[in-house]
């Protein structure tokens, strides 16, 4: 218990710092729907701030101590808001309790009969999105929190009136330890976020703590094919509901058949046919994600038809093998992959699609990750026909390690390092051709390059 529960009462007044953020804006909407009086601040105007004002939520632009009304009961902040923020300083001076957004979500979850929390080093956004499609097909009217945009919702969140909430649950800074899952999904575990975790064992311990939050009458859903996941969860001595590609799992796939970018398979539940699925996103990793979503649906008692229908309508989440358009006759796709395991899954999915050449434009994310997983990145970045490397996206870090994408390029045949997107665009203009696939990949701002390419191509076509 975080203490936030006692503030979940009508007429309590809360102030959210960073209210326009991807998980803060739906939080504001949910709290407002519960009858609380919510205000907030953000650095910039956005569609989200305008949307929140339509509910009568007062949003201030810029951070100032004056933004806190005299009768504010509590403050919620995003992880990006530091202690030197003037509103945080004012809250501390006035004795107003300050909570992290994950603590607020964790408390809110307790008001739902079903809290489905989807975790894993990779695949969280996609699997949370697949589960949302299934819940919508089942008319469950769910509340949803996704770390990316889902075309079905035209947003990354949804505020429903049903008894089920589904949340993408991140391990970074042990954020998901504040949650209250009734169903916890662990997709996979790898060494990542090593600027926070000490090593792989530390990451496993974090997931084990998360899974242990599930009550005895809840479900822990685990990837039987992933050794790290099973190593992390078996010490709990709890019943696990497993998914995987072998019939040793509780939920597994048979008769897998690839048809272009589409995959057909049967979902089996403990030896019996549960449903047939036509999946419109490529790759074996997405079959596993769909099995995880199906396993969660079984735990929720959802009809097989809704699972089949929901998954068949899923065409991908934003920035997950997202088709952007054409450039010089080549297909342009964008993907959020920023870990070697995600790169492997992406390239495994693309290779059977029959393109003449794969041109990968990769922007590494954070200096610490690039340094810690350098050899693994080299192994995957050698696979495309051409690899164009943008400079490392710093995100929250400073380059104290003296590492550059140029260091990667030196180890990779048929690769080139570019200091700017302009240079990459110029090189692609000379290189890309019909029959190629161009992948803009990374968790930074490399997606903008793909959008620029497609926009430039559209202008040429219009002329």
pLDDT of 133-154, one tens digit each? 999 999 999 999 887 778 887 7
351 is catalytic: no
The tokens for 312 are: 């068949």
Candidate CATH numbers 3.90.1150.10, 3.40.50.720, 3.40.50.10860, 3.30.479.30; the one for domain 4-100: 3.40.50.720
Q: What is the mean pLDDT of residues 36-57?
A: 91
Torsion angle in degrees (nearest 10) through CA of 78, 185, 201, 253? -140
Given 29, 168, 171, 342, which residue is catalytic? 168
What CATH architecture does domain 322-462 belong to?
A: Alpha-Beta Complex (3.90)
Residue 3's pLDDT is what?
Answer: 86
CATH 3.90.190.20 domain span(s) along the chain: 322-462
Return the pLDDT at 460: 62
Name, of 146-150, 315-319, 341-345, 373-377, the range with top average pLDDT. Answer: 373-377
For 273, list phi and psi in degrees, rounded to 5: -65, 125
Max mean pLDDT among 110-114, 118-122, 221-225 falls in 221-225
The yes-or-no verdict on residue 34 having pLDDT over 90 is no
Q: Of 64-73, 190-199, 369-378, where does mean pLDDT reach its minimum?
A: 190-199
More confident residue, 48 or 433: 433
**Torsion angle defined by CA atoms of residues 184, 339, 345 and 336, in that order, rounded to the nearest 10 degrees:** 90
With a pLDDT cut of 90, the percent of the chain lying above it is 75
Q: What percentage of the chain carries pLDDT values higher than 70?
A: 98
User: Does the domain at residues 112-312 carry the CATH identifier 1.10.10.10?
Assistant: no
Q: What is the 3-state secondary structure (H, E, C) of 236-269?
A: HCCCCEEEECCCCCCEEEEEEEEECCEEEEEEEE
In whole angstroms, what is the distance from residue 171 CA to residue 223 CA? 17
Contact 55, 32 (CB under 8 A): yes
Q: Which pLDDT score, from 0 to 100, does residue 462 have? A: 56
CA 322 – CA 148 distance, rounded (Å): 12
Predicted pLDDT at 226:
96
Question: What integer is the mean pLDDT of 439-447?
Answer: 93
pLDDT score of 147: 73
Mean pLDDT of 180-191: 95
**Residue 401 · residue 371 · CB < 8 Å:** yes
Instruction: Starting at the earlier edge strand, list the strands of the sheet with 58-61.
Output: 58-61, 37-42, 13-17, 74-77, 98-100
Report whether pLDDT(132) > 70. yes
How far, in whole angstroms, is CA 353 from its chain's centroid?
Answer: 25
Pairing of strands 114-119, 164-168: parallel
Q: Tokens for 381?
A: 């970045």
Catalytic pick from 49, 78, 121, 125? Answer: 125
Active site residue 391: no
Give the residue-averaged pLDDT of 197-211: 95
Q: What is the pLDDT of residue 82?
A: 87
Residue (of 147, 174, 172, 17) closest to 82 by Cα position: 17
Annotated active-site residue in 12, 48, 124, 371: 124
Using CA atoms, how far residue 449 sits from 298, 345, 387, 421, 452, in Å, is 41, 22, 15, 7, 5
Predicted local distance difference test score (pLDDT) of residue 239: 96
Most confident of 139-148, 173-182, 217-226, 387-396: 217-226
Tokens of 78: 């995003």
The continuous run of DSSP H or E covering 92 comes out as helix 86-93
Neighbour tally for 400: CB within 10 Å = 8
Cα–Cα distance, 233 to 239 (Å, whole number):
10
The ranges of the chain annotated as CATH 3.40.1190.10 are 112-312
Please, are residues 68 and 96 in contact by the beta-carbon 8 Å criterion? Answer: yes
Q: Is 2 a catalytic residue?
A: no
CA distance 140 to 132: 10
Q: Name the 3-class secondary structure at 115.
A: strand
């Amino acid at each position: 218990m975080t203490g936030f529960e006692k503030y979940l009462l009508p007429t309590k007044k809360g102030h959210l710092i960073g209210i326009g953020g991807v998980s803060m804006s739906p939080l504001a909407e949910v709290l407002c729907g519960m009858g609380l009086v919510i205000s907030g601040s953000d650095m910039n105007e956005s569609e989200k701030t305008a949307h929140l004002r339509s509910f009568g939520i007062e949003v201030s632009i810029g951070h100032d101590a004056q933004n806190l009304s005299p009768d504010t009961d509590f403050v919620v902040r995003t992880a990006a808001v530091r202690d030197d923020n003037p509103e945080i300083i004012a809250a501390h001076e006035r004795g107003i309790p300050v909570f992290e957004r994950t603590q607020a979500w964790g408390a809110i979850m307790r008001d739902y009969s079903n809290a489905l929390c989807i975790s894993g080093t990779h695949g969280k956004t996609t699997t949370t999105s697949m589960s949302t499609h299934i819940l919508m097909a089942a008319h469950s009217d769910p509340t949803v929190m996704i770390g990316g945009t889902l075309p079905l919702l035209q947003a990354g969140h949804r505020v429903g009136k049903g008894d089920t909430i589904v949340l993408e649950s991140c391990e970074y800074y042990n954020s998901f330890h504040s949650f209250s899952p009734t169903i916890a999904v662990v997709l996979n575990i790898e060494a990542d976020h090593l600027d926070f975790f000490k090593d792989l064992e530390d990451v496993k311990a974090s997931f084990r703590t998360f899974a242990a939050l599930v009550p005895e009458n809840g479900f822990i859903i685990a990837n039987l094919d992933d050794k790290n996941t099973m190593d992390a969860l078996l010490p709990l001595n709890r019943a696990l509901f497993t998914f995987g590609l072998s019939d040793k799992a509780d939920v597994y796939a048979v008769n897998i058949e690839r048809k272009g970018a589409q995959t057909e398979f049967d979902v089996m539940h403990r030896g019996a046919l549960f449903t047939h699925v036509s999946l419109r996103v490529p790759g074996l990793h997405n079959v596993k994600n769909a099995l995880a979503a199906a396993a969660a649906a079984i735990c929720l008692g959802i009809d097989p038809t809704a699972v089949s229908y929901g998954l068949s309508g899923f065409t991908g989440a934003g920035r997950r093998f997202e088709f952007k358009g054409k450039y010089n006759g080549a297909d342009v796709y964008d993907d959020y992959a920023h870990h070697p395991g995600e790169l492997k899954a992406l390239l495994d999915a693309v290779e059977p699609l029959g393109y003449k050449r794969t041109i990968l434009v990769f922007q590494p994310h954070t200096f610490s990750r690039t340094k810690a997983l350098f050899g693994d990145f080299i192994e995957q970045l050698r696979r495309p026909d051409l690899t164009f490397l943008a400079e490392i996206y710093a995100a929250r870090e400073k380059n104290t390690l003296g590492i550059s994408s140029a260091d990667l390029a030196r180890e990779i045949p048929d690769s080139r390092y570019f200091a700017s997107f302009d240079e990459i665009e110029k090189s692609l203009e000379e290189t890309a051709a019909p029959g190629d696939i161009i992948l803009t990949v990374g968790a930074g701002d490399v997606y903008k390059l793909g959008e620029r390419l497609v926009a430039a191509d559209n202008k040429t076509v219009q002329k």
